[in-house]
C-alpha cells in the first residue's frame, strides 16, 4: 500500500518536471486535490449554475455510473462542499444536491489556481 | 558491438501542467454550458412584445376579413421578433454571458422548428382561403415553440408555452374568436408572463 503511494507520488513528480523551483510549483501544490478530480470538478461546476440537481440529472449530465457518482458526491459532501437532501418524488426515492458556500469558494479558488498556472506558464 | 533495444514501449512524455489547466478549464466551461438554463428570456422585452401585439390587434380590427389583418400581424411578428432578440441580447450582456452558449443554442433548437412550421402553414392556409384558422395556428405553434425551447429555460417559460397552446386550441375550436384570442394571447399573455419574468428573474 505504502509502495503504491510512493509510486503515485513519483509519477506525479515526473509529470511536473518543469515545475521544480518555479513559482508554478507552489501554485500546483496549493491545488485542492478534492476538487481536482475530474468527476468531482464536474459535479461542482454543474451545481454552480443550478440551485439544485437530482442524482439522476447529475448522472445523465456527467455521463457516469451510479456507483461512481455516489462515491464522488459523498466525498464532496463529507468535505462540506455540497449539501444533500434525500426524499421521495411520489414513491420514487430522490436525492437532491446543492452547492454550499464552502463548495463555491473551493471552486472559485480552484479556477484562480488554474488561471494562475496558465498565466505563469505564459510568462515563463 | 551489440545494440541494446528497450523491451517495453517508451514511457509517454509527461503532460504539461498548462495543458492540464487548459483542459480542466475547458471541461468546467463545457459542463456549465450543458448544465445551465437559458436565463436570457426577456421579461421587459416580453411586455413590449405584448404591447405591440395589442396595438396590432387594434389596428387589424379596423378592416377585418381582408388581407389587412394578415399584413398587420406579419409586420407585428417581425417587430416582436426584433424586440425579443434585442431583449435577450441585452439581458445576456447584462449577465455577462454569451447569448448563444449551450443553453441558448438548446433554446433556439427547440424554438425554431414549430416557428418554421408556422410560416409554412400560414402560406398554405392563406392560399386555401382558410384565414379564419390562422390565429389558432399561430398561437398553437408559437406555444409549441415556447414550450419546447423553454425546456432549456426557467420553469415559467414552458408554462407560458402551455398557455399559448391552450389559447390556440380555443381559437381553432371557435375560429370567430380568433382576433380576440390573438389579442389575449400575443398581447395579454406576453404582458403577464413578461412581468412575471422581469420581477422573478430580472429584466
**ipTM confidence score:** 0.71
Choose the weakest-confidence range: A117-121, B157-161, B166-170, B195-199.
Answer: A117-121
Q: Domain holding A58: CATH number?
A: 1.10.10.10
Choose the weakest-confidence range: B2-16, B118-132, B145-159.
Answer: B2-16
Does the residue B12 lie in any domain?
Answer: no
Does the residue A17 lie in any domain?
Answer: no
Q: How far is A19 from chain B (nearest CA, A)?
A: 8
Chain A residues within 8 A of B27 when measuring between CB atoms: 38, 41-42, 45
CB of B88 closer than 8 Å to CB of B45: yes
* Gyration radius of chain B's alpha carbons: 24
Asked if the model's pLDDT at residue A15 lies above 50, the reply is no
Q: Where are the alpha helices (DSSP H) in chain B?
A: 17-35, 44-60, 67-94, 102-127, 134-149, 156-173, 178-182, 190-201
User: Structural domain tally of chain A?
Assistant: 1
Q: What is the reported pLDDT for A85? A: 93
Chains A–B, number of C-beta pairs less than 8 Å apart: 62
Give helix A55-62 / helix B17-35 axis angle, nearest 10°. 130
Pairwise CB contact (< 8 Å): A117 & B16:
no
Average pLDDT over residues B68-79: 94
Does the residue A39 lie in any domain?
Answer: yes
User: Structural domain tally of chain B?
Assistant: 1
CB of B138 closer than 8 Å to CB of B69: no
Mean pLDDT score of chain B: 87
For residue B152, what pLDDT band results from cuts at 50, 70 and 90? confident
Does the residue B35 lie in any domain?
Answer: no
Q: What is the reported pLDDT for A29? A: 61
Q: What is the reported pLDDT for B36? A: 73
Does the residue B197 lie in any domain?
Answer: yes
Does the residue B118 lie in any domain?
Answer: yes
Choose the weakest-confidence range: A29-38, B23-32, B110-119.
Answer: A29-38
Asked if the model's pLDDT at residue B90 lies above 90, the reply is no
Q: How far is A42 from chain B (nearest CA, A)?
A: 6
Best-predicted range by mean pLDDT (A4-18, A22-36, B92-106): B92-106
Pairwise CB contact (< 8 Å): A61 & B16:
no
Average pLDDT over residues B36-54: 87
Does the residue B30 lie in any domain?
Answer: no
Measured CA to CA, the distance from residue B187 to residue B149 in angstroms comes to 20
% pLDDT > 70, chain B: 87
- Does this model's pTM top 0.90? My answer is no
Does the residue A64 lie in any domain?
Answer: yes
Whole domain around residue B99: which residue ranges?
40-201
Whole domain around residue A63: which residue ranges?
33-123
Best-predicted range by mean pLDDT (A12-16, A94-98, A113-117): A94-98
Does the residue B21 lie in any domain?
Answer: no
Residues 101-140 of B with CB under 8 A from A: none
Does the residue A7 lie in any domain?
Answer: no
Average pLDDT over residues A102-112: 92
Nearest to B27 among A16, A41, A50 (CB): A41
* Sheet order of strands, A82-89 included: A53-54, A92-99, A82-89
CB of B164 closer than 8 Å to CB of B189: yes
| Residue B178 neighbours by CB under 8 Å, 6+ apart | B132, B133, B134, B135, B136, B171
Q: What is the reported pLDDT for B97? A: 67
Q: What is the reported pLDDT for B18? A: 73
For residue B74, what pLDDT band results from cuts at 50, 70 and 90? very high
Q: What is the pLDDT of residues B153-162, one digit of tens each?
A: 888 999 999 9
Q: What is the reported pLDDT for B195? A: 93
Q: What is the pLDDT of residues A69-92, one digit of tens each?
A: 999 999 999 999 999 999 988 888
Residues 29-88 of A with CB under 8 A from B: 36, 38, 41-42, 45-50, 53, 61-62
Does the residue A81 lie in any domain?
Answer: yes
Does the residue B3 lie in any domain?
Answer: no
Q: What is the reported pLDDT for B13? A: 55
For residue B178, what pLDDT band results from cuts at 50, 70 and 90? very high
Amino acid at each position: 500500500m505504502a509502495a503504491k503511494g510512493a509510486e503515485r507520488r513519483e509519477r506525479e513528480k515526473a509529470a511536473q518536471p518543469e515545475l521544480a523551483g518555479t513559482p508554478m510549483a507552489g501554485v500546483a501544490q496549493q491545488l485542492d486535490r478534492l476538487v481536482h478530480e475530474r468527476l468531482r470538478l464536474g459535479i461542482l461546476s454543474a451545481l454552480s449554475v443550478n440551485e439544485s440537481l437530482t442524482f439522476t440529472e447529475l448522472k445523465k449530465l456527467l455521463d457516469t455510473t451510479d456507483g461512481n457518482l455516489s462515491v464522488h458526491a459523498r466525498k464532496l459532501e463529507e468535505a462540506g462542499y455540497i449539501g444533500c437532501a434525500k426524499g421521495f418524488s411520489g414513491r420514487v426515492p430522490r436525492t437532491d444536491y446543492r452547492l454550499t458556500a464552502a463548495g463555491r469558494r473551493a471552486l472559485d479558488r480552484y479556477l484562480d489556481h488554474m488561471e494562475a498556472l496558465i498565466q505563469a506558464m505564459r510568462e515563463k | 558491438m551489440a545494440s541494446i533495444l528497450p523491451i517495453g514501449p517508451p514511457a509517454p512524455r509527461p503532460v504539461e501542467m498548462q495543458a492540464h489547466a487548459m483542459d480542466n478549464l475547458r471541461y468546467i466551461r463545457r459542463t456549465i454550458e450543458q448544465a445551465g438554463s437559458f436565463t436570457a428570456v426577456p421579461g421587459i422585452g416580453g411586455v413590449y412584445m405584448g404591447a405591440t401585439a395589442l396595438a396590432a390587434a387594434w389596428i387589424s380590427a379596423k378592416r377585418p376579413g381582408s388581407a389587412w389583418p394578415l399584413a398587420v400581424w406579419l409586420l407585428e411578428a417581425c417587430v416582436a421578433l426584433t424586440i425579443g432578440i434585442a431583449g435577450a441580447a441585452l439581458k445576456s450582456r447584462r449577465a455577462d454571458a454569451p447569448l448563444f452558449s449551450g443553453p441558448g443554442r438548446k433554446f433556439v433548437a427547440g424554438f425554431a422548428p414549430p416557428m418554421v412550421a408556422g410560416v409554412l402553414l400560414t402560406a398554405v392556409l392563406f392560399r386555401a382561403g382558410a384565414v379564419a384558422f390562422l390565429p389558432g395556428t399561430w398561437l398553437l405553434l408559437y406555444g409549441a415553440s415556447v414550450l419546447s425551447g423553454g425546456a432549456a429555460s426557467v420553469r415559467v417559460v414552458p408554462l407560458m408555452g402551455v398557455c399559448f397552446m391552450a389559447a390556440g386550441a380555443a381559437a381553432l375550436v371557435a375560429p370567430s374568436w380568433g382576433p380576440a384570442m390573438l389579442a389575449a394571447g400575443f398581447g395579454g399573455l406576453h404582458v403577464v408572463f413578461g412581468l412575471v419574468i422581469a420581477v422573478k428573474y430580472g429584466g
